[in-house]
Amino acid sequence: MRKIKTILVLLAILCVALPFAAATLLTQTGASDATLYVDPPSIEDPAILLGDNIVIHIMIDSVSDMKTCEFNLTFSPSVLSVLRITKLAVQGQYPDSKLDLDSDNGYIWISLVYKTALTITTDTAILEIEFYVKDYGATDLHFQSSELLDTGGAPIPHETRDGFVRIILRNIVVKQISPTYSETYVGRIIPINVTTLNDGNIPETFTVSLFYDSTLIDTMDAVDLPPTENITVTFNWDTASAPPLMTPYTIKAEASTVPYEVNTTDNTLVDGTIKLKIVGDVDGDGAVDINDLIAWDDAYESHAGDPSWNAQADINNDSVVDKADATLILDHYKETL
Where are the domains positioned within the chain?
32-167, 169-277, 285-337
Out of 26-40, 82-96, 157-171, 275-289, least confident range: 26-40
pLDDT confidence of residue 251: 98
Residue 86 has pLDDT above 90, yes or no: yes
Residue 331, SS3 per DSSP: helix
CATH superfamily of 285-337: Dockerin domain (1.10.1330.10)
- Which among 201, 203, 216, 210 has a CA at the least distance from the CA of 176? 210
Residue 6 has pLDDT above 60, yes or no: no
194/115 Cα distance (integer angstroms): 68
pLDDT confidence of residue 75: 98
pLDDT confidence of residue 32: 56
Architecture of the domain delimited by 32-167: Sandwich (2.60)
Architecture of the domain delimited by 169-277: Sandwich (2.60)
Residue 108 has pLDDT above 90, yes or no: yes
Assess whether the region 32-167 and the region 169-277 belong to the same CATH fold.
Answer: yes
Percent of the chain with pLDDT over 70: 91
156-179 average pLDDT score: 98
Stretch (H or E) spanning 286:
none
Q: What is the mean pLDDT of the chain?
A: 92
Q: How far is CA 151 from CA 64, 98, 158, in A?
A: 10, 18, 16
Residue 30 has pLDDT above 80, yes or no: no
Q: How far is CA 265 from CA 137, 165, 172, 194, 297, in A?
A: 22, 28, 10, 17, 48
- Residue 31: band (very low, low, confident or very high) from pLDDT cuts 50, 70, 90: very low
142/40 Cα distance (integer angstroms): 13
72/224 Cα distance (integer angstroms): 37
Please report, as a single letter, which amino acid is at residue 331: D
151/82 Cα distance (integer angstroms): 31
20-47 average pLDDT score: 71
